[in-house]
Amino acid sequence: MVPFLGIVRLTLKTAVRSNIFQLLLLVLLVCIVALPATISGDGTAQGYIQISLKYSLAVTGFVLSLSSVWLGCFIMSRDTETYQLHMVATKSISRVTIWLGKWAGIVLIHLVLLLVASLTIYFIVQYQYHRQEFSAAERQRIQNEVMVARRVYYPVQPNMDELARRELARRIEVNKRSGRAVDESQMAQDQMYQDIKREIVGSYSQIPYGGAREWQYKNLPTDYKGPVFLRFRFYVAKIGGNEQRASSGLWIVGIPFPAEEETGTKNITEQKEIKEKKYNFSPYPTTQAPEQIMSGEFHERLLNTELISPNGEMLVAFQNFDPSRETMFFQLGDGPKVLISAGSFTDNYFRAVLVVFIQLLIMAGLGCAAASVLSMPTAVFLVISYIISGSLAVLLSGTTYFSGAADYVGSYMGKILLLFIIPLQAFDISYFVAGGELIEFSVIGMIFLQYFILRGVPFFLLGMFLYRRRELGLVIRK
């Protein structure tokens, strides 16, 4: 343990003396102090706090990740190229201990910097928010929608895969009965299945003019008495683009009532049966007339907790009254989502900081692993290329429109790369904090398992193995 701690102390001293590290610290200081103080947002308390949190946390994570990679490559290669490792390796200290000590030292110094930066951002945002002159209504809204941790509930979705398989079987049967030729090769079947699934998903997300779509939610808390919010975003005519405009629609909520009328006083057993029984919903419009809503932007609507049935279900619907009679699109990822308070903003904020720390663990390890056998410039180039490849793989795998074989090849390549590469986008969850959405520990655990254990640790072990096998006598400084 003593040799390990000694390596950690030497690593900390070397890191502080690095000129590039000092430059990155200056950049970090400017980001955490100047960025929250200069951002004004859209003029509202909600916009200010959201932009400040999102940008500040994202920039802090990026700068510290860059610093972790640089220090990992710098310290591992410097000790080898300056022959300092030759002296240490002659002692009774294993190279694995040296590797772990250097990695732990880099992680420790960045953990301290992360805590200082995150606390500074937290208090600056709080100070700027409280000192600005916002109305009481705006402050109440920010407390309910941003300065809180709300658990997100998504609507029950139909099994798109099962629907696509059934529709594929139906079409094949219809073609056979009509005497049409059917290509039964696996490639053709897969292509038809993907096309049918895309049609089903597209039709489910569309609401034609005059039509309505309803969403059902389950497993909601039945004893909750606080505010319930509905977050949504829709598009008009087409998904995305800069041509979105104001449209009109009507939200309709379902008021629950028992499927069978209940009379008399109920004992405990009968009350339990009531919660397990089925409830119907009576439609009730939230406004007397269709309201004007801007498309392409997220909106939140305050709902009544009495809309949640005793068995934890809720029903909402939206009717399209677009003035130009265009179709509306509600993407599956855009909700509408139900948000219910489940924790404090401070707790949620430091959950996001924990995710950034996991990112730093991985970035420092990648830098150390690459520099275990490569020179510093080559190691830095390799790690940066690895990170960029992860970002590109996310874009390729997320392709939804296929115009040819190249699009399919790119999509499959992106999915294969993501099995081995760690994308930086996986750690960017600042939008959860900015939107007041609770970062579940299950999400943090999944990030740790998928990217640190399953992807990061194998690279670390490979770096240790190569570092242990490296011939120091072949290292000659020119």
- The pLDDT, as a whole number, for residue 117 is 86
- Banded pLDDT at 92 (limits 50, 70, 90): low
Torsion of Cα atoms, 58 then 350 then 440 then 458, to 10°: 70
Across-strand partners of 152? Answer: 339
Taken in order of first residue, the domains within the chain and their CATH numbers are: 2-148+345-474 (no CATH), 209-342 (2.60.120)
| Residue 263: pLDDT over 50 | no
* Residue-wise pLDDT tens digits, 329-388: 888 777 799 999 888 888 999 999 999 999 999 999 999 999 888 888 888 899 998 888
Which tokens sit at 415? Answer: 């999915």
Q: For 83, phi and psi rounded to 5 degrees?
A: 70, 15
Which tokens sit at 427? Answer: 């750690």
| Residue 287: pLDDT over 60 | yes
Which range has the worst mean pLDDT, 80-84, 313-317, 319-323, 455-459?
80-84
- The pLDDT, as a whole number, for residue 225 is 82
Spatial distance between the Cα atoms of 428 and 355, rounded to a whole number of angstroms: 8
- The pLDDT, as a whole number, for residue 331 is 83
Percent pLDDT > 70 in the chain is 85
Tell me the pTM: 0.79
Q: What is the mean pLDDT of residues 171-178?
A: 81
Spatial distance between the Cα atoms of 221 and 296, rounded to a whole number of angstroms: 30
Q: What is the mean pLDDT of residues 298-312?
A: 86
- The pLDDT, as a whole number, for residue 58 is 83
* Residue-wise pLDDT tens digits, 187-225: 777 778 888 887 887 778 889 999 999 999 998 988 888
Residue 314 three-state SS: strand
Spatial distance between the Cα atoms of 49 and 34, rounded to a whole number of angstroms: 15
- The pLDDT, as a whole number, for residue 162 is 85
- The pLDDT, as a whole number, for residue 362 is 94
- The pLDDT, as a whole number, for residue 265 is 47
Spatial distance between the Cα atoms of 226 and 151, rounded to a whole number of angstroms: 13
What type of residue sits at position 249? Answer: G
* Residue-wise pLDDT tens digits, 392-449: 887 777 665 556 666 667 777 777 877 888 888 888 888 888 888 899 999 999 999 9
Q: What is the mean pLDDT of residues 231-245?
A: 83
Beta-carbon contacts of 236 under 8 Å, excluding residues fewer than 6 positions away, are 244, 245, 247, 295, 296, 322, 324, 326, 327, 328, 329
Which range has the worst mean pLDDT, 77-81, 199-203, 294-298, 377-381?
77-81
Which range has the worst mean pLDDT, 136-140, 247-251, 378-382?
136-140
Residue 228 three-state SS: strand
- Banded pLDDT at 42 (limits 50, 70, 90): low
Spatial distance between the Cα atoms of 428 and 94, rounded to a whole number of angstroms: 36
Which candidate, 90, 92, 73, 70, places its Cα nearest to that of 81? 73
| Residue 118: pLDDT over 70 | yes
Q: Do 29 and 49 meet the contact criterion of CB atoms below 8 Å apart?
A: no
Spatial distance between the Cα atoms of 23 and 351, rounded to a whole number of angstroms: 28
* Total Cβ atoms within 10 A of residue 9: 12
Spatial distance between the Cα atoms of 410 and 417, rounded to a whole number of angstroms: 10
Which tokens sit at 67? Answer: 């610093």
| pLDDT, the chain, mean | 81
